Structure 1
Amino acid sequence: MSAKDLPTMYGLAESDPGQKLIKRAGVVDADLQQIDRIMAEMGRMRQIERRIMRSSQQYMKLNETDMRAIRKMISAKHAGQSVTPGALSQYLGISSASVTKMIDRLEARGHVRRTKHPTDRRSQCVEVTEETHLAAGEQVGRHHAKRFEVAKSLSPEEREVVIRFLASTSDAMESSLDEAGPGETE
């Protein structure tokens, strides 16, 4: 995709024309164009990720919270860990009553099943069904495999640059959340 085809809403000129947030004095035009292109590609990737998520949600007839719960259960299954309703409540940031309703709904639709906790007789676990695990792999897993192929194609040095950029960007964005006042983060 050429630079002129990228989304412009993330460009410096469009998002901060008065340079109130991002001071550009002393940055040469070629650097600004390259930085703009990085921002546009990041925006394009977020748009594609949202399309993938919506497509997966529609295919599996799940909402965003359901999908996050399913991903958590699949990850735990791969790691050989059990998932309790309490752990889901904490992970999803929702009440235990909401988790119970969600599990009831997912169980009724054949996405999850309740099992006995392996070590605590008073507790139960929730695990994803094999059918849903396969469907999630087909829907979401194939997209993640594409990311792996791109990362694999880079040299170790290039991967280190990408890792440093993504980690630093995440750190900077996270610190901006900590600096924001009430109501400014959502």
Structure 2
Amino acid sequence: MDADHHAKGYWYGKDPVQKEMAVDVLNALRDYRVSEQAMRRRTRSSMLMGEKDLLALRYLFEAEADGRVMKPKDLGERLGITSASMTTLIDRLVESGHIRREPHPTDRRALILRATPASDQEVRHTLGGMHRRMMDVASALSPEEAAVVTAFLRDMRQALDTVDDENTVDGGNTADGATGHGEPGAAAGDSQPS
């Protein structure tokens, strides 16, 4: 990350009232997101899968862990893709051996999707070490620290989820003078987290 951007607060504006600590926190959050995106690219590359493919597997793993079934339509809605794109994605994942189609347990006319055991093992092998390291870092927090971090991340998520156009002025510049290029805390090429 460019040290000059860190020193200036990047796109957080030049308001002298802003606290240096707040800018440091937002820079650290952005740096984390850059590392996370790089990890996702490495994972997709090593598993020879696209981002939507990995996300589909994640949703299938979650559904199975919760004792839920996932129909193609349900998965397509979670992924935000059309039924035609969903069919292509399913065909690709079935052909690669990552998922399988099965009859719905209560609706003879419907099919459900399940991740294969081999897919589960591949994801665990690929991501297991990284997940353990992340869990070690999170487990090292005291209960009070964990509560603060959790509240901060939830509040940041809400801040991003409730972005509106009221601060936008012509040309993509915001009322505080920062350019509207990208999202605060986002890095170029960012996409959905795991």
With structure 2 as the length reference, what TM-score do the two structures score? Answer: 0.78
C-alpha deviations, 1:43-84, integer Å up to 9, x for none?
Answer: 221111112111111111110111110111111111111111
Change (3 A) 1:86 1:109: same
Query: Residue 24 of structure 1 is aligned with which of 16, 21, 24?
Result: 16
Count of matched residue positions in the alignment of Structure 1 and Structure 2: 172
Query: Residue 102 of structure 2 is aligned with which of 115, 129, 149?
Result: 115
Alignment of 1:20-99 (within 5 A): 23-25=15-17, 27=18, 31-32=19-20, 34-99=21-86
Q: Which residue of 2 aligns with 1:15?
A: 10
Give the fraction of aligned pairs with identical amino acids, expressed as a percent: 31
> Do 2:53 and 2:89's aligned partners in 1 also have CA atoms closer than 8 Å?
yes
Give SS of 2:162's match.
Answer: helix
C-alpha deviations, 1:101-137, integer Å up to 9, x for none?
Answer: 1111111111111001111111001111111111111
Q: Which runs of 5+ in 2 are unaligned?
A: 173-179, 184-194
* 1:164, distance to aligned residue in structure 2 (A): 1.4
Q: Which runs of 5+ in 1 are unaligned?
A: 1-5
Give SS of 1:115's match.
Answer: strand
* 1:176, distance to aligned residue in structure 2 (A): 1.2
Extract structure 1 runs of 4+ deviating beyond 4 A. 177-181, 183-186
**What amino acid sits opposite 2:6 in the alignment?**
G
More helix by share: 1
C-alpha deviations, 1:123-180, integer Å up to 9, x for none?
Answer: 0011111111111112224322222221111111111111111111111111115758
**What amino acid sits opposite 1:151 in the alignment?**
A
Higher relative contact order (CA 8 A, sep 6+): 2
